[in-house]
Every structure is written in C-alpha cells, then in structure tokens.
Amino acid sequence: MASFKITGDRRLKGEIVPQGAKNEALQIICAVLLTKEPVTIHNIPNIRDVNQLINLLGDLGVRRTRLSETSIRFEADDINLDYLESDSFRQKAAALRGSVMLLGPMLARFRKGRIPRPGGDKIGRRRLDTHFLGFEKLGATFSYDEEDGGFYRVDAANLKGTYMLLDEASVTGTANVLMAAVMAEGTTTIYNAACEPYLQQLCKMLNRMGAKISGIASNLLVVEGVTELRGTEHTMLPDMIEIGSFIGLAAMTQSEITIKDCQIPQLGIIPDVFQRLGIKMEFRGDDIFIPAQEHYRIENYLDGSTLSVADAPWPGFTPDLLSIILVTATQAQGTVLVHQKMFESRLFFVDKLIEMGAQIILCDPHRATVIGHNRETQLRGIRMTSPDIRAGVALLIAALSARGVSIIDNIEQIDRGYQNIDTRLNAIGAEIVRL
C-alpha cells in the first residue's frame, strides 16, 4: 500500500491541464467491442481504472496500438469469448466496477455475456438493477450463480427494440442498455435516460460508427437498430471532476491557478456552484483562471437561510464533486449544508477533516453541515486513509492547505481516478512525496 507525504501551507501557482474524463473513458473504451473495425481514441487518461479496463480488453483479444501518450487504436476483430469462463477474467473484472459496461457491447455483437459482481468504490449500495432490467426489456435473460464464482450470465439471442422507462437515470445503466440497443432489431425508446456529457459523447461516437440515435442531450433517447457498426475516431472531454477539484484546491490553498482547455460549455452548473461558495474565477477562452483569494464567502439564499448543495442527475450537480465542495467550505466564511442523496457512505471521511480541525456536523449518512473557519483557524496535518477516489482527493486538498505534514495511506484509490496527481501538483509548487 502506497502513501503520500504532504507538506502543507504552500501556495501554488501556474497552469494545469485536466486529464481526459474518467467516467467517459470507461464507456467509450467498452464500445470498441461493438465493431470489427479499428477505433482510435484520443485523450485517454493514464489512471488505474482505465488501464485495468484496457488490459482486460487485451485479454479478451482486442489488439491495442499506442499512437501517443494519450491515444490508442483498438481492433476487436478476433474476440476470445472462452476467456469469459476463466478465473483470470473473474478476478480482473470483479476488481473493476466499469467492467459491467462490457455487457452491453457483448450482448449487441455476440448475443451473450458473462460478468462477475463488479467492485469499485465503497461508497454505499450501488445496484445493477437498471442494467439488467433494461437488458430484460430488450429480450435478454440472465441468471446469477453464487456457486459459479458469483457470475451473472446473460443470454440475448433475440434482442428486440422496445419502450422502456429506466427505474433511475443511471449513467452506466443508460450507457450499457444503449450499447445493447444499437444492434437490437427494431426501435428502442429509452425514457428517464441519463444525459450527462459522457452519455452525449458516447451517443455521438456510436452515431459516427453507424448507429441511429436521436434525442441526444435529453432524457428520451430513440434508437433504431442496425446490423453492424464500423470503426471511428473519438476524442474524450476533459475530466469535469478534476476541473472542479482544481477549483477547490486553488481556493483552499490561496493559490493562483489557470486550468487549461476546460471545454467550459460542457461543465454545466459546476462553476456556478463553486462561485456560490464565494470563489472568484475568470473564463479566458476555454481556460478558467482562479486568482489567489485570502477569503471567500458562502452565499445565503435570498431569504437569508443557509445554502444547501445537493447532487442530482444532470444537468444537476454531479455527486462526484460533493466531497470537494465539503472540504473547500471548511475555510470559507459562512455555513453550507452538503446533501449527498445518491450514496449513503460517501460522507464518512469527514471524521478525518474534523480531526484536522474542521467544523463539520455529520447530521446523518447523507448530510453534513460545514461551518467555515474563514482562515481564522488553520487545519493541521494528520495521518489518514483514502476510502475512495473523491474523498481521497478531498483529503489531499485539506492536507495541502494544512499546517504541518500529513500522510495519506491507500493512495491507490486516488490513482484510480487522478493521473499522476502528485507530479502534476508538484510542478506548480506543491510538496507531495510518494512513499
């Protein structure tokens, strides 16, 4: 288990370029299984989860040619379906939650699939019902066998288009069902579909491959099934979660940072929410400039009541940034209620922030009230453990702003979602040592 040793209370200054979007990458890379022809993907983030998925595709027989540090050409013309029965597949797929999105392309192209119960962040219950209910609507049948190593087996010999109302606007569920539907017979209508930029990107890529998807950017997708798809080229968006993390980092450490190439129109309300915490920013073309701020003040509602920041399906605020909002508020002037609606365990890292000196009341598993210090009291360095990707980076931001030295253990969790984060932050003035 690796650790970060962070010397805090340093002001950073400079430019930083966000990596390619992790959540988009997991969908886009699975989609290469839909065609025999080459698919070239650019702006791939060099992070643990994405690399594990790419290696898993290689084990399935997908040929990979690295064209540059961030670009790979994939060729899935000779897939070894027998590998799905192996212990190696079970172990590797179970360790990666994104592996569940292999099912949609497998069902579309090969009419069958097999996947173990996936892993991922321990942030509460993350059910797969949306995926399987959608597949069932398309005519697939599935079974779960605990004695068979905990595998889901899915048979999709007769995929047919249909109308479906998803039980929740799940991003991965929508992506998975969509990839199965593009080669189903007839027309599929998906209502209550997720419409995040990741999904919009996937839809546009699939259409370039020959799919017929309409309603992109809405929660009502209509898919006319086709018999085959062709190759394409695709460039991924910058990671909006990393962009939000850098905004919070700049505010907490009183740093002057320029975040480059943000594709600002794709960020939705993310900049607005940070501005409601009082953080100043300037949009310079597609760059976001964060000036060094000694103080930032949380807005109240018009009636004077306490601001509440809650997650919601797009175009609402993404749940992946609530951890960053929470830690950033600890040094603001004012109070904010952070309401994590989707995952019941994602706020359980706040005990470490309280140990560092933050004023936080954990109301219940979903809500925490943060009373900002307004710089009157500085956080202090401690030893702590990263429980998941987003909480890990929130703790890293706290440590960078704190007085003294902090140690963060289990940084493999951070590496799952943030590319060379220590090297990139050290380049603009941080002092992070990987142990």
d(CA 24, CA 10): 33
| Catalytic one of 121, 311, 388, 415 | 121
To the question of whether residue 342 is assigned a binding role by annotation, the answer is yes
To the question of whether residue 23 is assigned a binding role by annotation, the answer is yes
Is 311 assigned a catalytic role? no
Q: Does residue 110 contact residue 77 with C-beta atoms inside 8 Å?
A: no
Burial tier of 133 (Cβ tally within 10 Å: 0-12, 13-18, 19+): middle
SS3 state at 422: helix
Q: What burial letters (b/e) apply to 182-205, b meaning 16+ CB within 10 Å?
A: bbbeeebbbebbbbbbbbbbbbbb
CA distances from 219 to 88, 166, 173, 316, 320 (A): 37, 10, 13, 13, 20
* β-pair partners for 307: 336
Name the residue among 111, 159, 118 with its Cα closest to residue 136.
159
Phi, psi (5° rounding) for residue 337? -100, 120
CA dihedral sign of residues 195, 201, 202, 205? positive
d(CA 345, CA 362): 12
Tokens at 52, concatenated? 């594990």
Binding residues for phosphoenolpyruvate: 22-23
Binding residues for UDP-N-acetyl-alpha-D-glucosamine: 97, 320, 342
Binding residues: 22-23, 97, 320, 342
Q: Catalytic amino acids?
A: 121
